[in-house]
Chains A and B, each alone.
Chain A
Protein backbone atom coordinates (compact mmCIF):
# COMPACT_ATOMS: atom_id res chain seq x y z
CA UNK A 1 0.00 0.00 0.00
CA UNK A 2 1.50 3.31 -1.02
CA UNK A 3 -0.92 5.13 1.32
CA UNK A 4 -1.55 4.28 4.94
CA UNK A 5 -4.76 4.66 6.87
CA UNK A 6 -3.23 7.72 8.54
CA UNK A 7 -2.50 9.25 5.11
CA UNK A 8 -6.11 8.75 4.01
CA UNK A 9 -7.44 10.18 7.28
CA UNK A 10 -5.27 13.27 6.75
CA UNK A 11 -6.40 13.68 3.11
CA UNK A 12 -10.06 13.28 4.10
CA UNK A 13 -9.63 15.95 6.79
CA UNK A 14 -8.00 18.35 4.28
CA UNK A 15 -10.86 17.68 1.85
CA UNK A 16 -13.50 18.11 4.59
CA UNK A 17 -14.98 14.65 3.99
CA UNK A 18 -16.23 12.38 6.74
CA UNK A 19 -15.29 8.78 5.96
CA UNK A 20 -16.98 5.99 7.90
CA UNK A 21 -15.08 3.13 9.53
CA UNK A 22 -16.58 0.74 6.99
CA UNK A 23 -15.49 2.86 4.03
CA UNK A 24 -11.93 3.46 5.23
CA UNK A 25 -10.22 0.20 4.12
CA UNK A 26 -11.80 0.56 0.65
CA UNK A 27 -10.36 4.06 0.24
CA UNK A 28 -6.91 3.01 1.51
CA UNK A 29 -6.81 0.26 -1.13
CA UNK A 30 -8.33 2.17 -4.04
CA UNK A 31 -6.46 5.45 -3.44
CA UNK A 32 -3.22 3.48 -3.15
CA UNK A 33 -3.88 1.79 -6.48
CA UNK A 34 -4.59 5.16 -8.10
CA UNK A 35 -1.42 6.71 -6.66
CA UNK A 36 0.61 3.71 -7.88
CA UNK A 37 -0.99 4.07 -11.30
CA UNK A 38 -0.25 7.79 -11.70
CA UNK A 39 3.31 7.22 -10.37
CA UNK A 40 4.06 6.03 -13.91
CA UNK A 41 4.49 9.73 -14.71
CA UNK A 42 7.60 9.93 -12.51
CA UNK A 43 9.47 7.82 -15.07
CA UNK A 44 8.86 10.30 -17.90
CA UNK A 45 11.71 12.59 -18.87
CA UNK A 46 10.38 16.15 -18.60
CA UNK A 47 13.49 18.30 -18.17
CA UNK A 48 13.02 21.60 -20.03
CA UNK A 49 9.32 20.93 -20.58
CA UNK A 50 7.08 23.80 -19.55
CA UNK A 51 3.89 22.79 -17.71
CA UNK A 52 0.70 23.22 -19.76
CA UNK A 53 -2.20 24.58 -17.72
CA UNK A 54 -4.63 25.46 -20.49
CA UNK A 55 -5.29 23.56 -23.72
CA UNK A 56 -5.52 26.73 -25.84
CA UNK A 57 -2.36 28.45 -24.75
CA UNK A 58 -1.92 32.05 -25.72
CA UNK A 59 -5.54 32.89 -25.06
CA UNK A 60 -5.59 36.03 -22.98
CA UNK A 61 -8.13 36.43 -20.25
CA UNK A 62 -10.49 39.20 -21.22
CA UNK A 63 -11.15 42.34 -19.26
CA UNK A 64 -14.66 43.65 -19.17
CA UNK A 65 -15.91 47.16 -18.51
CA UNK A 66 -16.26 47.83 -14.80
CA UNK A 67 -20.03 48.14 -14.79
CA UNK A 68 -22.78 46.45 -12.80
CA UNK A 69 -24.01 43.37 -14.67
CA UNK A 70 -25.52 41.35 -11.81
CA UNK A 71 -28.90 42.15 -10.36
CA UNK A 72 -30.16 41.09 -6.94
CA UNK A 73 -31.06 37.39 -6.84
CA UNK A 74 -30.91 36.87 -3.09
CA UNK A 75 -34.37 35.43 -2.75
CA UNK A 76 -34.10 32.94 -5.60
CA UNK A 77 -30.59 31.90 -4.50
CA UNK A 78 -31.57 31.48 -0.88
CA UNK A 79 -34.54 29.34 -1.89
CA UNK A 80 -31.95 26.55 -2.35
CA UNK A 81 -30.21 27.08 1.00
CA UNK A 82 -30.61 24.42 3.71
CA UNK A 83 -31.31 27.06 6.38
CA UNK A 84 -31.81 30.83 6.18
CA UNK A 85 -33.10 33.38 8.65
CA UNK A 86 -33.87 37.04 7.96
CA UNK A 87 -32.04 36.78 4.63
CA UNK A 88 -28.91 35.28 6.21
CA UNK A 89 -27.41 31.80 5.86
CA UNK A 90 -27.52 29.95 9.17
CA UNK A 91 -24.59 27.79 10.35
CA UNK A 92 -23.72 26.31 13.77
CA UNK A 93 -22.22 28.79 16.22
CA UNK A 94 -18.62 29.60 15.19
CA UNK A 95 -17.50 31.98 17.96
CA UNK A 96 -18.07 30.79 21.51
Chain B
Protein backbone atom coordinates (compact mmCIF):
# COMPACT_ATOMS: atom_id res chain seq x y z
CA UNK B 1 0.00 0.00 0.00
CA UNK B 2 2.52 2.54 -1.23
CA UNK B 3 -0.03 5.39 -1.24
CA UNK B 4 -0.41 5.20 2.53
CA UNK B 5 3.26 5.93 3.20
CA UNK B 6 4.78 9.30 4.08
CA UNK B 7 7.22 11.02 1.75
CA UNK B 8 10.01 10.31 4.23
CA UNK B 9 9.21 6.59 4.27
CA UNK B 10 8.95 6.46 0.46
CA UNK B 11 12.35 8.18 0.17
CA UNK B 12 13.84 5.67 2.61
CA UNK B 13 12.49 2.72 0.61
CA UNK B 14 13.71 4.25 -2.65
CA UNK B 15 17.17 4.75 -1.15
CA UNK B 16 17.21 1.17 0.19
CA UNK B 17 16.13 -0.07 -3.29
CA UNK B 18 13.07 -1.78 -1.76
CA UNK B 19 11.01 0.01 -4.41
CA UNK B 20 11.80 1.90 -7.60
CA UNK B 21 10.52 5.27 -8.70
CA UNK B 22 8.96 3.61 -11.77
CA UNK B 23 6.99 1.22 -9.52
CA UNK B 24 5.86 4.16 -7.45
CA UNK B 25 4.77 6.15 -10.51
CA UNK B 26 2.87 3.15 -11.91
CA UNK B 27 1.14 2.63 -8.56
CA UNK B 28 -0.19 6.20 -8.47
CA UNK B 29 -1.01 6.32 -12.20
CA UNK B 30 -3.13 3.21 -11.71
CA UNK B 31 -4.91 4.87 -8.76
CA UNK B 32 -5.59 7.99 -10.81
CA UNK B 33 -7.03 5.98 -13.69
CA UNK B 34 -9.23 3.97 -11.36
CA UNK B 35 -10.33 6.63 -8.85
CA UNK B 36 -10.20 9.96 -10.66
CA UNK B 37 -13.46 9.46 -12.62
CA UNK B 38 -15.32 9.72 -9.29
CA UNK B 39 -13.54 12.99 -8.41
CA UNK B 40 -12.53 14.89 -11.59
CA UNK B 41 -9.47 16.07 -9.65
CA UNK B 42 -6.91 15.45 -12.42
CA UNK B 43 -7.59 17.06 -15.82
CA UNK B 44 -4.36 16.19 -17.63
CA UNK B 45 -2.54 12.91 -17.15
CA UNK B 46 1.12 12.80 -18.19
CA UNK B 47 1.80 9.07 -17.86
CA UNK B 48 4.58 8.83 -20.49
CA UNK B 49 6.49 11.83 -19.16
CA UNK B 50 6.01 10.48 -15.61
CA UNK B 51 7.55 7.11 -16.43
CA UNK B 52 10.42 8.83 -18.22
CA UNK B 53 11.07 11.08 -15.21
CA UNK B 54 10.81 8.06 -12.89
CA UNK B 55 13.41 6.16 -14.92
CA UNK B 56 15.71 9.20 -14.69
CA UNK B 57 15.18 9.31 -10.91
CA UNK B 58 15.96 5.59 -10.67
CA UNK B 59 19.24 6.18 -12.52
CA UNK B 60 20.15 8.97 -10.09
CA UNK B 61 19.30 6.70 -7.15
CA UNK B 62 21.33 3.87 -8.65
CA UNK B 63 24.28 6.25 -8.94
CA UNK B 64 24.09 6.78 -5.20
CA UNK B 65 22.36 10.16 -5.19
CA UNK B 66 19.96 10.81 -2.31
CA UNK B 67 17.29 13.45 -1.85
CA UNK B 68 14.14 13.96 0.17
CA UNK B 69 12.04 14.13 -3.00
CA UNK B 70 14.18 12.11 -5.42
CA UNK B 71 11.79 9.73 -7.21
CA UNK B 72 8.63 11.01 -5.45
CA UNK B 73 5.50 11.56 -7.61
CA UNK B 74 3.39 14.71 -7.48
CA UNK B 75 0.51 16.46 -9.23
CA UNK B 76 0.81 20.14 -10.15
CA UNK B 77 -2.09 22.54 -10.00
CA UNK B 78 -2.88 23.49 -13.60
CA UNK B 79 -2.00 27.13 -12.86
CA UNK B 80 1.73 26.32 -13.09
CA UNK B 81 3.29 26.44 -16.53
CA UNK B 82 4.73 23.05 -17.49
CA UNK B 83 6.96 22.90 -20.56
CA UNK B 84 5.33 20.94 -23.40
CA UNK B 85 2.23 20.11 -21.33
CA UNK B 86 -1.18 21.76 -21.55
CA UNK B 87 -1.59 24.49 -18.91
CA UNK B 88 -5.28 25.44 -18.90
CA UNK B 89 -5.70 27.30 -15.59
CA UNK B 90 -9.16 25.72 -15.46
CA UNK B 91 -10.28 27.94 -18.35
CA UNK B 92 -11.61 27.55 -21.85
CA UNK B 93 -9.32 30.49 -22.67
CA UNK B 94 -6.26 28.22 -22.33
CA UNK B 95 -7.84 24.94 -23.41
CA UNK B 96 -5.20 24.46 -26.11
CA UNK B 97 -2.30 26.28 -24.47
CA UNK B 98 0.88 24.20 -24.39
CA UNK B 99 3.28 26.06 -22.16
CA UNK B 100 6.65 26.75 -23.83
CA UNK B 101 8.44 26.89 -20.46
CA UNK B 102 8.39 25.67 -16.86
CA UNK B 103 7.37 27.72 -13.83
CA UNK B 104 10.29 28.14 -11.41
CA UNK B 105 8.69 25.82 -8.84
CA UNK B 106 8.26 23.20 -11.56
CA UNK B 107 11.95 23.56 -12.47
CA UNK B 108 12.99 23.30 -8.82
CA UNK B 109 10.86 20.25 -8.12
CA UNK B 110 12.04 18.59 -11.36
CA UNK B 111 15.68 19.21 -10.40
CA UNK B 112 14.98 17.57 -7.02
CA UNK B 113 13.91 14.43 -8.90
CA UNK B 114 10.13 14.56 -8.49
CA UNK B 115 7.90 12.83 -11.00
CA UNK B 116 4.88 14.76 -12.36
CA UNK B 117 1.88 12.47 -12.83
CA UNK B 118 -0.45 15.13 -14.21
CA UNK B 119 -2.16 18.46 -13.66
CA UNK B 120 -5.02 19.10 -11.25
CA UNK B 121 -8.37 20.76 -11.82
CA UNK B 122 -8.98 24.18 -10.29
CA UNK B 123 -11.41 27.07 -10.22
CA UNK B 124 -11.01 29.07 -13.43
CA UNK B 125 -7.96 31.34 -13.07
CA UNK B 126 -8.02 30.43 -9.34
CA UNK B 127 -11.21 32.46 -8.84
CA UNK B 128 -13.51 30.43 -6.65
CA UNK B 129 -13.86 28.69 -3.31
CA UNK B 130 -15.54 25.47 -4.42
CA UNK B 131 -13.93 24.34 -7.69
CA UNK B 132 -17.25 24.86 -9.43
CA UNK B 133 -16.01 27.65 -11.72
CA UNK B 134 -13.69 25.30 -13.67
CA UNK B 135 -14.45 24.99 -17.38
CA UNK B 136 -13.61 21.29 -16.94
CA UNK B 137 -16.41 20.62 -14.45
CA UNK B 138 -16.57 20.58 -10.66
CA UNK B 139 -14.24 18.49 -8.51
CA UNK B 140 -15.87 16.20 -5.96
CA UNK B 141 -14.84 15.84 -2.34
CA UNK B 142 -13.57 12.30 -1.62
CA UNK B 143 -15.20 12.40 1.84
CA UNK B 144 -18.61 12.88 0.22
CA UNK B 145 -18.82 13.20 -3.54
CA UNK B 146 -21.95 15.37 -3.33
CA UNK B 147 -19.82 18.02 -1.57
CA UNK B 148 -17.26 20.51 -2.90
CA UNK B 149 -13.54 20.00 -2.21
CA UNK B 150 -13.00 23.75 -1.66
CA UNK B 151 -11.13 25.98 -4.04
CA UNK B 152 -9.41 27.19 -5.91
CA UNK B 153 -6.87 24.35 -5.43
CA UNK B 154 -9.75 21.84 -5.19
CA UNK B 155 -8.28 19.33 -7.65
CA UNK B 156 -5.05 19.32 -5.67
CA UNK B 157 -6.82 18.96 -2.32
CA UNK B 158 -9.09 16.13 -3.54
CA UNK B 159 -6.11 14.36 -5.14
CA UNK B 160 -4.05 14.64 -1.94
CA UNK B 161 -6.96 13.47 0.22
CA UNK B 162 -7.72 10.51 -2.09
CA UNK B 163 -4.04 9.52 -2.12
CA UNK B 164 -3.69 10.01 -5.88
CA UNK B 165 -0.18 11.38 -5.23
CA UNK B 166 2.05 11.79 -2.15
CA UNK B 167 1.63 15.56 -2.50
CA UNK B 168 0.22 18.24 -4.77
CA UNK B 169 1.05 21.89 -5.43
CA UNK B 170 -1.36 24.79 -5.04
CA UNK B 171 -1.68 28.55 -4.96
CA UNK B 172 -3.31 30.76 -2.35
CA UNK B 173 -4.57 34.27 -3.14
CA UNK B 174 -7.35 34.43 -0.54
CA UNK B 175 -7.28 30.96 1.00
CA UNK B 176 -7.03 28.75 -2.08
CA UNK B 177 -4.62 26.28 -0.43
CA UNK B 178 -5.79 26.41 3.19
CA UNK B 179 -9.56 26.33 2.57
CA UNK B 180 -9.54 23.26 0.25
CA UNK B 181 -7.01 21.57 2.55
CA UNK B 182 -9.44 22.07 5.45
CA UNK B 183 -12.44 20.82 3.48
CA UNK B 184 -10.68 17.61 2.41
CA UNK B 185 -8.68 16.83 5.58
CA UNK B 186 -5.15 17.46 4.32
CA UNK B 187 -2.33 19.76 5.44
CA UNK B 188 -1.98 22.90 3.32
CA UNK B 189 0.79 25.49 3.57
CA UNK B 190 0.58 29.03 2.21
CA UNK B 191 4.04 30.56 2.62
CA UNK B 192 4.98 34.21 3.18
CA UNK B 193 4.40 36.46 0.16
CA UNK B 194 7.68 36.37 -1.78
CA UNK B 195 8.98 33.14 -0.19
CA UNK B 196 8.17 31.01 -3.25
CA UNK B 197 8.66 32.24 -6.82
CA UNK B 198 5.61 33.31 -8.79
CA UNK B 199 7.42 33.00 -12.14
CA UNK B 200 5.38 30.81 -14.47
CA UNK B 201 2.42 30.78 -12.10
CA UNK B 202 -0.48 32.30 -14.03
CA UNK B 203 -1.21 35.60 -12.30
CA UNK B 204 -4.53 36.39 -10.59
CA UNK B 205 -3.83 39.12 -8.00
CA UNK B 206 -0.12 39.82 -7.93
CA UNK B 207 0.13 41.45 -4.48
CA UNK B 208 -1.61 38.43 -2.91
CA UNK B 209 -0.71 35.32 -4.97
CA UNK B 210 1.61 32.77 -3.39
CA UNK B 211 2.44 29.16 -4.25
CA UNK B 212 2.49 26.37 -1.71
CA UNK B 213 1.87 22.71 -1.02
CA UNK B 214 -0.93 20.33 -0.05
CA UNK B 215 0.30 17.16 1.63
CA UNK B 216 -0.82 14.63 4.21
CA UNK B 217 1.26 15.95 7.09
CA UNK B 218 3.32 18.96 8.15
CA UNK B 219 6.37 16.69 7.96
CA UNK B 220 5.72 15.91 4.27
CA UNK B 221 4.90 19.56 3.54
CA UNK B 222 8.19 20.67 5.15
CA UNK B 223 10.20 18.47 2.79
CA UNK B 224 8.39 19.91 -0.22
CA UNK B 225 8.49 23.56 0.84
CA UNK B 226 12.23 23.35 1.42
CA UNK B 227 12.62 22.59 -2.30
CA UNK B 228 9.98 25.02 -3.60
CA UNK B 229 11.10 28.06 -1.61
CA UNK B 230 13.98 30.35 -2.43
CA UNK B 231 15.05 33.45 -4.27
CA UNK B 232 14.27 33.75 -7.96
CA UNK B 233 15.60 36.69 -9.98
CA UNK B 234 12.76 36.09 -12.49
CA UNK B 235 10.14 37.17 -9.92
CA UNK B 236 10.52 40.85 -9.02
CA UNK B 237 8.85 40.34 -5.62
CA UNK B 238 10.87 37.24 -4.68
CA UNK B 239 12.70 37.76 -1.40
CA UNK B 240 16.41 37.05 -1.23
CA UNK B 241 16.63 35.44 2.18
CA UNK B 242 17.98 31.96 2.98
CA UNK B 243 15.57 29.01 3.14
CA UNK B 244 15.74 27.23 6.49
CA UNK B 245 16.02 23.44 6.58
CA UNK B 246 12.33 23.01 7.44
CA UNK B 247 12.43 19.22 8.01
CA UNK B 248 15.37 19.56 10.41
CA UNK B 249 13.49 22.20 12.42
CA UNK B 250 10.25 20.24 12.89
CA UNK B 251 11.20 19.01 16.35
CA UNK B 252 12.06 22.47 17.72
CA UNK B 253 10.70 22.57 21.27
CA UNK B 254 7.13 23.76 21.61
CA UNK B 255 7.31 24.57 25.32
CA UNK B 256 6.80 28.24 25.99
CA UNK B 257 5.28 28.92 22.56
CA UNK B 258 2.74 31.71 22.84
CA UNK B 259 -0.40 31.01 20.84
CA UNK B 260 -3.02 33.67 20.27
CA UNK B 261 -6.62 32.62 19.94
CA UNK B 262 -8.31 34.91 17.43
CA UNK B 263 -11.43 36.30 19.04
CA UNK B 264 -12.96 37.45 15.72
CA UNK B 265 -12.61 33.96 14.25
CA UNK B 266 -15.22 32.61 16.63
CA UNK B 267 -17.95 35.14 15.83
CA UNK B 268 -20.68 33.21 14.10
CA UNK B 269 -18.69 30.00 14.00
CA UNK B 270 -20.78 26.88 14.28
CA UNK B 271 -20.68 25.41 17.80
CA UNK B 272 -19.26 22.00 16.85
CA UNK B 273 -16.51 23.57 14.72
CA UNK B 274 -15.61 25.91 17.57
CA UNK B 275 -15.42 22.97 19.99
CA UNK B 276 -12.90 21.19 17.74
CA UNK B 277 -10.68 24.29 17.61
CA UNK B 278 -10.81 24.58 21.40
CA UNK B 279 -9.90 20.87 21.68
CA UNK B 280 -6.86 21.50 19.48
CA UNK B 281 -5.83 24.38 21.72
CA UNK B 282 -6.01 22.09 24.72
CA UNK B 283 -3.62 19.73 22.94
CA UNK B 284 -1.21 22.65 22.61
CA UNK B 285 -1.58 23.66 26.25
CA UNK B 286 -0.95 20.09 27.35
CA UNK B 287 2.30 20.17 25.36
CA UNK B 288 3.48 23.27 27.20
CA UNK B 289 2.28 26.08 24.95
CA UNK B 290 0.77 29.19 26.47
CA UNK B 291 -2.51 30.41 25.00
CA UNK B 292 -4.09 33.82 25.25
CA UNK B 293 -6.86 35.60 23.41
CA UNK B 294 -5.92 38.24 20.85
CA UNK B 295 -8.08 40.56 18.81
CA UNK B 296 -7.76 41.75 15.24
CA UNK B 297 -10.47 44.41 15.26
CA UNK B 298 -10.31 45.17 11.53
CA UNK B 299 -10.35 41.54 10.42
CA UNK B 300 -14.11 41.49 9.64
CA UNK B 301 -13.28 44.02 6.89
CA UNK B 302 -10.89 41.63 5.15
CA UNK B 303 -13.48 40.17 2.76
CA UNK B 304 -14.71 43.52 1.34
CA UNK B 305 -11.10 44.75 1.19
CA UNK B 306 -10.07 41.65 -0.73
CA UNK B 307 -13.00 41.93 -3.15
CA UNK B 308 -11.71 45.35 -4.18
CA UNK B 309 -7.96 44.63 -4.28
CA UNK B 310 -8.08 41.16 -5.90
CA UNK B 311 -10.54 42.00 -8.73
CA UNK B 312 -8.63 45.24 -9.44
CA UNK B 313 -5.38 43.32 -9.87
CA UNK B 314 -7.15 40.53 -11.78
CA UNK B 315 -8.69 42.97 -14.27
CA UNK B 316 -5.20 44.24 -15.02
CA UNK B 317 -3.51 40.81 -15.13
CA UNK B 318 -6.14 39.20 -17.34
CA UNK B 319 -5.97 41.98 -19.92
CA UNK B 320 -3.17 39.93 -21.51
CA UNK B 321 -5.78 37.50 -22.88
CA UNK B 322 -6.60 39.33 -26.07
CA UNK B 323 -7.17 36.52 -28.59
CA UNK B 324 -4.07 37.58 -30.50
CA UNK B 325 -0.90 36.00 -29.09
CA UNK B 326 -2.15 32.91 -27.29
CA UNK B 327 -5.36 31.47 -25.95
CA UNK B 328 -8.90 31.33 -27.30
CA UNK B 329 -9.95 33.35 -30.35
CA UNK B 330 -13.60 33.76 -31.41
CA UNK B 331 -14.78 32.70 -34.87
CA UNK B 332 -14.98 35.26 -37.69
CA UNK B 333 -14.21 38.51 -35.83
CA UNK B 334 -15.54 41.44 -37.82
CA UNK B 335 -12.96 43.90 -36.53
CA UNK B 336 -10.30 44.17 -33.82
CA UNK B 337 -12.75 45.30 -31.11
CA UNK B 338 -15.05 42.40 -31.91
CA UNK B 339 -12.06 40.04 -31.72
CA UNK B 340 -11.12 41.32 -28.23
CA UNK B 341 -14.67 41.40 -26.86
CA UNK B 342 -15.88 38.06 -28.14
CA UNK B 343 -12.63 36.17 -27.55
CA UNK B 344 -12.72 37.32 -23.92
CA UNK B 345 -16.50 37.05 -23.57
CA UNK B 346 -16.52 33.47 -24.88
CA UNK B 347 -13.15 32.36 -23.47
CA UNK B 348 -13.78 33.42 -19.85
CA UNK B 349 -16.46 31.89 -17.62
CA UNK B 350 -19.05 33.84 -15.57
CA UNK B 351 -17.06 34.22 -12.32
CA UNK B 352 -13.92 35.41 -14.09
CA UNK B 353 -15.95 37.94 -16.08
CA UNK B 354 -17.64 39.09 -12.88
CA UNK B 355 -14.29 39.71 -11.20
CA UNK B 356 -12.78 41.45 -14.22
CA UNK B 357 -15.81 43.76 -14.30
CA UNK B 358 -15.68 44.39 -10.53
CA UNK B 359 -12.02 45.29 -10.90
CA UNK B 360 -12.64 47.48 -13.93
CA UNK B 361 -15.36 49.32 -12.02
CA UNK B 362 -13.30 49.99 -8.86
CA UNK B 363 -10.38 51.25 -10.96
CA UNK B 364 -12.47 53.41 -13.30
CA UNK B 365 -12.39 57.20 -13.33
CA UNK B 366 -14.30 58.64 -10.39
CA UNK B 367 -14.26 55.44 -8.33
CA UNK B 368 -10.56 54.77 -7.84
CA UNK B 369 -10.27 56.77 -4.58
CA UNK B 370 -13.55 55.55 -3.13
CA UNK B 371 -12.80 51.89 -3.69
CA UNK B 372 -9.24 50.97 -4.59
CA UNK B 373 -7.37 53.54 -2.52
CA UNK B 374 -9.80 53.05 0.36
CA UNK B 375 -9.26 49.29 0.27
CA UNK B 376 -5.49 49.77 0.35
CA UNK B 377 -5.88 51.93 3.47
CA UNK B 378 -8.02 49.30 5.19
CA UNK B 379 -5.44 46.73 4.08
CA UNK B 380 -2.91 48.63 6.17
CA UNK B 381 -5.23 48.63 9.20
CA UNK B 382 -5.64 44.84 8.91
CA UNK B 383 -1.89 44.35 8.47
CA UNK B 384 -1.21 46.55 11.52
CA UNK B 385 -3.64 44.45 13.59
CA UNK B 386 -1.60 41.34 12.82
CA UNK B 387 1.67 43.15 13.57
CA UNK B 388 0.37 44.22 16.98
CA UNK B 389 -0.87 40.68 17.72
CA UNK B 390 2.58 39.27 16.93
CA UNK B 391 4.10 41.60 19.52
CA UNK B 392 2.23 39.49 22.11
CA UNK B 393 2.19 35.99 20.60
CA UNK B 394 4.33 33.79 18.33
CA UNK B 395 1.44 32.64 16.18
CA UNK B 396 -2.33 32.91 16.05
CA UNK B 397 -4.82 30.10 15.60
CA UNK B 398 -8.44 29.68 14.66
CA UNK B 399 -10.61 27.73 12.27
CA UNK B 400 -9.72 27.69 8.57
CA UNK B 401 -13.33 27.88 7.39
CA UNK B 402 -16.71 28.77 8.96
CA UNK B 403 -18.26 25.39 8.00
CA UNK B 404 -17.17 22.00 6.67
CA UNK B 405 -17.58 21.23 2.93
CA UNK B 406 -20.90 22.39 1.49
CA UNK B 407 -23.01 20.76 -1.24
CA UNK B 408 -22.08 21.19 -4.89
CA UNK B 409 -24.41 23.85 -6.28
CA UNK B 410 -25.37 25.31 -2.88
CA UNK B 411 -23.69 28.70 -3.26
CA UNK B 412 -23.11 29.15 -7.00
CA UNK B 413 -25.93 31.66 -7.48
CA UNK B 414 -24.84 34.04 -4.75
CA UNK B 415 -21.27 35.35 -5.15
CA UNK B 416 -21.19 37.29 -1.86
CA UNK B 417 -22.18 34.20 0.18
CA UNK B 418 -19.48 32.24 -1.65
CA UNK B 419 -16.93 34.99 -0.96
CA UNK B 420 -17.68 34.92 2.78
CA UNK B 421 -16.45 31.35 2.88
CA UNK B 422 -12.90 32.78 2.85
CA UNK B 423 -13.48 35.11 5.80
CA UNK B 424 -10.83 33.43 8.00
CA UNK B 425 -8.17 32.96 5.34
CA UNK B 426 -8.07 36.27 3.45
CA UNK B 427 -6.41 38.26 6.26
CA UNK B 428 -3.14 36.36 5.90
CA UNK B 429 -3.01 37.16 2.17
CA UNK B 430 -3.70 40.86 2.68
CA UNK B 431 -0.87 40.98 5.23
CA UNK B 432 1.42 38.64 3.25
CA UNK B 433 1.66 36.21 6.18
CA UNK B 434 2.31 32.45 6.08
CA UNK B 435 -0.47 30.11 7.20
CA UNK B 436 -1.17 26.42 7.56
CA UNK B 437 -4.36 24.43 7.72
CA UNK B 438 -4.16 21.06 9.45
CA UNK B 439 -7.00 18.56 10.05
CA UNK B 440 -8.40 18.75 13.62
CA UNK B 441 -11.53 16.61 13.62
CA UNK B 442 -14.83 15.93 11.88
CA UNK B 443 -18.34 17.35 11.86
CA UNK B 444 -20.98 15.07 10.31
CA UNK B 445 -18.23 12.93 8.77
CA UNK B 446 -16.57 15.91 7.06
CA UNK B 447 -13.10 17.17 7.97
CA UNK B 448 -12.49 20.45 9.81
CA UNK B 449 -9.28 22.49 9.56
CA UNK B 450 -7.25 24.22 12.25
CA UNK B 451 -5.49 27.30 10.91
CA UNK B 452 -2.17 28.64 12.20
CA UNK B 453 -0.87 32.01 11.01
CA UNK B 454 2.54 33.43 11.90
CA UNK B 455 4.68 36.51 11.24
CA UNK B 456 6.50 36.92 7.93
CA UNK B 457 8.99 34.08 7.27
CA UNK B 458 7.84 31.99 10.25
CA UNK B 459 7.18 28.90 8.10
CA UNK B 460 9.61 26.79 10.15
CA UNK B 461 7.78 27.59 13.38
CA UNK B 462 4.34 27.01 11.82
CA UNK B 463 5.40 23.67 10.34
CA UNK B 464 6.91 22.65 13.65
CA UNK B 465 3.78 23.66 15.59
CA UNK B 466 1.58 21.67 13.16
CA UNK B 467 3.99 18.73 13.36
CA UNK B 468 3.84 18.65 17.18
CA UNK B 469 0.04 18.65 16.95
CA UNK B 470 0.11 15.81 14.41
CA UNK B 471 2.38 13.75 16.67
CA UNK B 472 -0.19 14.09 19.45
CA UNK B 473 -3.26 13.43 17.26
CA UNK B 474 -4.15 11.24 14.30
CA UNK B 475 -6.71 13.36 12.41
CA UNK B 476 -4.25 13.80 9.52
CA UNK B 477 -4.05 10.01 9.09
CA UNK B 478 -7.78 9.58 8.43
CA UNK B 479 -8.50 8.52 4.86
CA UNK B 480 -11.84 8.83 3.08
CA UNK B 481 -13.73 5.55 2.56
CA UNK B 482 -13.16 4.10 -0.89
CA UNK B 483 -9.73 5.72 -1.18
CA UNK B 484 -7.81 3.80 1.50
What is A's interface to B at a CB cutoff of 8 Å? 3, 7-8, 11-20, 23, 26-27, 30-31, 33-35, 37-42, 44, 46, 49-56, 59, 61-62, 64, 73, 76-77, 79-83, 89, 91-94
A71 CB to nearest chain B CB (Å): 11
A72 CB to nearest chain B CB (Å): 12
Contact B378 A89 (CB under 8 A): no
Contacts A41-B301, A52-B377, A59-B237 hold; do A33 and B415 have CB atoms under 8 A apart? yes
Known: A11-B360, A19-B345, A19-B353. 8 other contacts (CB 8 A): A16-B322, A16-B340, A35-B358, A38-B362, A46-B377, A51-B376, A64-B233, A80-B100
A6 CB to nearest chain B CB (Å): 13
Contacts A54-B237, A80-B97 hold; do A40 and B336 have CB atoms under 8 A apart? no
Contact A92 B335 (CB under 8 A): yes
A59: B residues at CB distance < 8 A: 194, 237, 239
B window 276-334: CB within 8 A of A: 298, 301, 303-305, 307-308, 315, 319, 322-329, 333-334
A50: B residues at CB distance < 8 A: 377, 380
B36-44, B145-153, B367-375, B444-452 - the one binding chain A: B367-375
Contact A52 B350 (CB under 8 A): no
A50 and B454 alpha carbons, distance in the complex (Å): 24
B353: A residues at CB distance < 8 A: 17, 19, 27
Contact B304 A30 (CB under 8 A): no
B390 interface hit (Cβ, 8 Å):
no
Contact A14 B360 (CB under 8 A): yes
Cross-chain pairs A/B with CB under 8 angstroms, 13 sampled: A11-B360, A15-B356, A33-B415, A33-B416, A38-B362, A38-B375, A41-B301, A50-B377, A51-B380, A55-B208, A59-B194, A77-B100, A82-B329
Q: Which residue of A lies closest to B323 (CB)?
A: A82
Q: Which of A16, A19, A46 is close to B378, meaning CB atoms less than 8 Å apart?
A: A46
B356: A residues at CB distance < 8 A: 15, 17
B383 interface hit (Cβ, 8 Å):
yes
B357: A residues at CB distance < 8 A: 8, 11-12, 15, 17, 27, 31
A64: B residues at CB distance < 8 A: 233
B126 interface hit (Cβ, 8 Å):
no
Contact A42 B370 (CB under 8 A): yes
B207 interface hit (Cβ, 8 Å):
yes
Q: Contact residue range for chain B?
A: 35 or more
Contacts A46-B377, A51-B377, A80-B326 hold; do A17 and B344 have CB atoms under 8 A apart? yes
A30 and B354 alpha carbons, distance in the complex (Å): 8
Contact A42 B374 (CB under 8 A): yes
B337: A residues at CB distance < 8 A: 16
B80 interface hit (Cβ, 8 Å):
no
Contact B308 A41 (CB under 8 A): yes
Contact B341 A37 (CB under 8 A): no
B204 interface hit (Cβ, 8 Å):
no
Contacts A12-B357, A30-B415 hold; do A41 and B336 have CB atoms under 8 A apart? no
Q: Which residue of A lies closest to B238 (CB)?
A: A62
B342: A residues at CB distance < 8 A: 18
A76 CB to nearest chain B CB (Å): 4
B192 CB to nearest chain A CB (Å): 8
B193: A residues at CB distance < 8 A: 55-56
Contact B376 A52 (CB under 8 A): yes
B474 interface hit (Cβ, 8 Å):
no
A17 and B378 alpha carbons, distance in the complex (Å): 30
Contact A92 B339 (CB under 8 A): yes
B237: A residues at CB distance < 8 A: 54, 56, 59
A92: B residues at CB distance < 8 A: 333-336, 338-339
Q: Which residue of B lies closest to A34 (CB)?
A: B358
A81 and B94 alpha carbons, distance in the complex (Å): 11
A15 and B311 alpha carbons, distance in the complex (Å): 12
Contact A73 B100 (CB under 8 A): yes
Contacts A50-B377, A61-B236, A81-B324 hold; do A56 and B194 have CB atoms under 8 A apart? yes
Contacts A51-B377, A92-B333 hold; do A41 and B371 have CB atoms under 8 A apart? yes
A56 and B377 alpha carbons, distance in the complex (Å): 15
Q: Which of A15, A38, A56, A79 is close to B432, meaning CB atoms less than 8 Å apart?
A: A56
